[in-house]
Amino acid sequence: MRGMPRLLPRSMPLLAALAAWVAHAQTSPCDDVAYARDMKVRYPQAVNAIAADEAARRTAWNGRADAISAQLVAARAVTPEAQSGFRLAQWRRPDVAALDAQIAAAETDFRERTIALQAAPAIARLDPLRPERAACLLQASALQVLQHKLDLENEQWALVDRALLDEAVRLGLRLGP
């Protein structure tokens, strides 16, 4: 009995982690075999769709920034070199750079979760009644991280866009919405 008080505090984090895992396991849509199998099939397409959305948004944001810059230069409110320098300075702002770090972290997190998918068959052996569940949970988690990365990129672009529009107003040029 004397050893129990020392053992209990050491095991508390492990017990808490196990309890959290069990609680999460009970509420996962991946418990449904059909959902888990569907996730396995649609995961590559979902990753490709998010990547395509990311590319389309990047193209649109770049096009908008180029259009704003072109209007400022055409109105002779600023030289092309000055506008280029201003745009570059916006990407170096602390708030934009902080988002850049978060985007890089999300990208790394997605890559690590994708690598972890290779362990799904080994993990599935621990739960023989739900063999697809491990892969489903890992895939769903990876998709959430990838979507988070896209959301951070949109936030970053919105900051730069707002700065470009504010600069246009400061220079006396009113641009469309």
Per domain, the residue ranges of the chain are: 1-30, 32-170
User: According to the model, what pLDDT value does residue 5 have?
Assistant: 46
HSE (CB half, 13 Å, CA atoms) of 39?
23
Q: Show the DSSP H helices in the chain as ranges.
A: 3-27, 33-74, 80-91, 94-116, 120-124, 133-170
User: According to the model, what pLDDT value does residue 89 have?
Assistant: 96
In a 10 Å sphere around its CB, with 0-12 CB exposed, 13-18 middle and 19+ buried, how is residue 134 labelled? buried
**Per-block average pLDDT, block size 10, for the chain (177 residues)?**
47 50 64 91 95 96 94 92 95 96 96 90 80 89 96 96 93 75
User: According to the model, what pLDDT value does residue 174 have?
Assistant: 78
User: According to the model, what pLDDT value does residue 15 have?
Assistant: 44
Angle between helices 80-91 and 33-74 (to 10 degrees): 150
User: According to the model, what pLDDT value does residue 3 have?
Assistant: 46
User: According to the model, what pLDDT value does residue 122 have?
Assistant: 84
